[in-house]
Amino acid sequence: MLTVGSLSRADLAARLSGDGLVLRTGPFTNRIRSDVAPLIDGVALMYADYPVEPVGGFVDFHLELRRSGGLRRWYRSQVHFAYDSTTPFQPLPLGQAYPMLEWTMNWCVSHRAHGYLIIHAAVLEKHGRAIILPAPPGSGKSTLTAALLGHGWRLLSDEMTLVHLDDGVLVPLPRPVSLKNTSIDIIRAFRPDAVLSRPVEETTKGTIAHLRAPAESIARACEPARPACIVFPRWEAGAAIELDPLPKARAFMQVADNCFNYQVLGARGFTALGRLIDASDAYTFRYSSLPEAMALFERMALEGA
């Protein structure tokens, strides 16, 4: 199987600047074209273990990220994103090209992949039990996810939980984990073995770095998982660890609020979400200590809460 890591830097750059790199991520194929060096470096580092498909086959998403032309090419150069020849976003500074790729890949799935109920949530699995972590920005979701990946958990996704509409299984979409601001140094200290991209400063979300997904999670991207728990995490400085049951009716409404396409799917979305809630225990979770959180999640994986 051809992977990004098996390509030389020159071959990778030639594919991206030519007919495109056809990158498989979970159930999707992405044709990516770009002439931007920071993006090429990011893809080489973060996607080394991902499969590369032949050019000419079916592609779900066509993405193009190019440098500005004219004077902008030399003065405060920018990167522009085009999707199927449309430009849905404003250009960004050239140094933000790699985070822009990640954001646009998320955008493609959340706006086009309506064969799934899509929840803005991380999802991980261990010992056959998948735990969904829906949470707004700043809740510590991605920090918790990055820490759990260092303790044997399988990454299904950091950003989007894909729920199959027909049978309710969780479909993996393992991609790099987005870390922001202080989370970057927290994970560097907690997981010295973690592979992180170069931090990019002054984005709309602050300083951003990405954590490379585990090779085993990528290799198992065709293996769905069954939901066991839905946990709403919240990091709070100095807080004692606390896990509280959440009534299913409240869990339904809170997960619906975190869905990208619940209203788009109509009755099918209602049925899929109801099935997910019925199959899962639901909790709120407050923490400040990552080691305590690791121990609690291990117990949940082994024996439930």
Q: What are phi and psi of 115, to 5 degrees?
A: -80, 0
Q: 200-234, pLDDT tens digit by residue?
A: 999 999 999 999 999 999 999 999 999 999 999 99
Average pLDDT, integer, range 175-192: 96
- Does 277 share its domain with 175? yes
- Say whether 181 sits in a helix, a strand or coil: coil
* Domain region containing 231: 116-303
Give the span between the Cα atoms of 251 and 11, in whole angstroms: 48
Q: How far is CA 20 from CA 128, 130, 289, in A?
A: 37, 34, 43
Q: Are residues 69 and 97 in the same domain?
A: yes
Please say which residue of 83, 112, 141 terminates a domain. 112
Give the model confidence (pLDDT) of 22-52 as tens digits: 999 999 999 999 989 999 999 999 999 999 9
What is the rounded end-to-end Cα distance, in angstroms, of the chain? 40
Position 139 pLDDT exceeds 70: yes
pLDDT band at 81 (very low <50, low <70, confident <90, very high): confident
Examine the domain organization and report whether 282 and 172 are in the same domain: yes
Query: Are the beta carbons of 161 and 170 closer than 8 angstroms?
Result: yes
pTM confidence score: 0.94
* Co-location of 238 and 288 in the same domain: yes
* pLDDT average, residue stretch 281-292: 96
**Is the per-residue pLDDT at 79 higher than 90?**
no
Residue in this structure with the two tokens 């990405």, named with its chain if needed: 210
- Residues 223, 88, single domain; the answer is no
Residues 80 and 139 grouped into a single domain: no
Report how many domains make up the chain: 2
Does 106 lie in the same domain as 123? no
Residues 176 and 293 in one domain: yes
Q: Are residues 145 and 293 in the same domain?
A: yes
Of the candidates 304, 270, 254, 250, the residue with the CA atom closest to the CA atom of residue 168: 270
Q: Which amino acid is at 110?
A: S
Alpha carbon 245 to its chain's center: 26
Q: Are residues 126 and 104 in the same domain?
A: no
Query: Are the C-beta atoms of residues 232 and 215 closer than 8 Å to each other?
Result: no
What is the distance between the alpha carbons of residues 161 and 163, in angstroms, rounded to a whole number? Answer: 6
CA 218 to chain centre: 12
For residue 67, the model assigns a pLDDT of: 81
Asked if residue 188 and residue 82 are part of one domain, the reply reads: no
Identify the pLDDT of residue 74: 52
Cβ atoms within 10 Å, residue 244: 11
**Residue 108 sits in the same domain as residue 180:** no
- Output the pLDDT for position 86: 77
- At 29, is the secondary structure helix, strand, or coil? strand
Contact 149, 155 (CB under 8 A): yes
Neighbours of 51 (CB within 10 A): 17
Domain C-terminal end among 93, 112, 131: 112
Picking from 112, 132, 160, the residue at the C-terminal end of a domain is 112
Q: Which of 61-70, 231-240, 248-257 has the lowest mean pLDDT?
A: 61-70
